[in-house]
Amino acid sequence: MTGPLSKEKSGGFADLGPRVASAVVLVAAAVATLYFGGAIFAAFWLVAAFAVNWEWQGLIGGERRVARVAAGGVATAAAAAFGRNGLAGYAALDILFFAATAAVLAGPARRAWAAGGVVYAGALAFSVCWVRESFDLGILAIAFLFAIVWGTDIFAYFGGRLIGGPKLWPRVSAGKTWSGTITGVVSGALLGLATAYLGGGPALASVQVFLVGLAAAGISQMGDLFESSVKRRFGVKDSSQLIPGHGGVMDRLDGFIFACVFAAAIGLVRGDPSAAANLFFW
């Protein structure tokens, strides 16, 4: 789950109340399922990934939306199962096959976009399950990512409003400022480091872990900008209205999707079967 608060928008704090109320429920559900793990955790994130693809396919328009949502649903379910068993190759084949299916269903004008939604949702389903199921450190690794993404989002929200200043990329995100982004990224990395220390002790609180957190925080902000650019491309403000005060599931998960895929990619590049360990030991 991405940061509990809003993306940066112009104005003060009038929108804070409903967002905090919804965030409390979302954070509680994310933390509870993280604690229980196993099928409960996988089911929670499978629902989230399904919602991401459902919103994406609706946002882009095109033909045969229901069939594309169904194809993405099968892809995400299989990706989650492969993630729980560390089968990255099978997950990639599964996601690519159903992405191609969605592309064919969408028609010429939306083929690449329809496929992209399946890849986006499938990558989330695989990576979050793979990281969580990593032996010994899986729960800490997801908590580490939660701390980074939530911390980045919260401090970017307040930093942008209290400090203000030049916009980061006004053509894509009208409210995001350099001050908020820098404040958020540094704060998120520090909160990730603190989580590693509290969960694993001094051995996990190293300069390398802080740098990983810094990279993950920056990448989570890239996820925010990516989703903003997609919405701007299709002329919508929110991906849906599923979450009161927040918009859609995509609006809440954009940063976490990018950060979690980044964590899984580290494991794939380094070749260690434990995706979680790769975040902490260098």
Specify the pLDDT at position 179: 93
At 167, give phi and psi (nearest 5°).
-75, 145
Contact 98, 125 (CB under 8 A): no
Specify the pLDDT at position 20: 78
Q: Shortest CA distance to 256 belongs to which of 139, 128, 163?
A: 128
Q: What's the predicted TM-score (pTM) here?
A: 0.91
Give 89-140 pLDDT, tens digit per residue. Answer: 999 999 999 999 999 999 899 999 999 999 999 999 999 999 999 988 999 9
- The region that residue 61 occupies, defined by phi over 0 for left and psi between -120 and 50 for alpha, beta otherwise, is left
Contact 68, 114 (CB under 8 A): yes
**255-279: average pLDDT:** 91
How many whole angstroms separate alpha carbon 257 and alpha carbon 164?
Answer: 27
- Partner residues linked to 169 by β-bridges: 173
Instruction: Say how many C-beta atoms besides its own lie within 10 A of residue 233's C-beta.
Output: 12
Residue 13 predicted with pLDDT over 60: no
- Which range among 11-15, 44-48, 141-145, 180-184 shows the weakest confidence by mean pLDDT? 11-15
How many whole angstroms separate alpha carbon 226 and alpha carbon 236?
Answer: 14
Give 226-259 pLDDT, tens digit per residue. Answer: 999 999 999 988 888 888 766 899 989 999 999 9
Which run of H or of E encompasses 175? Answer: strand 173-177
Residue 57 predicted with pLDDT over 80: yes
Specify the pLDDT at position 225: 94
Contact 93, 118 (CB under 8 A): no
The pairs formed by 261-264 with CB atoms below 8 angstroms and a separation of 24 or more are 261/123, 261/124, 261/127, 262/215, 262/216, 262/219, 263/127, 263/131, 263/141, 263/145, 263/216, 264/88, 264/126, 264/127, 264/130, 264/131
What is the residue-averaged pLDDT of the chain? 91
Specify the pLDDT at position 8: 46
Identify the residue with better confidence: 195 or 135. Answer: 195
Q: In percent, how much of the chain has pLDDT > 70?
A: 93
Specify the pLDDT at position 231: 92
Identify the residue with better confidence: 18 or 263. Answer: 263
How many whole angstroms separate alpha carbon 123 and alpha carbon 130?
Answer: 11
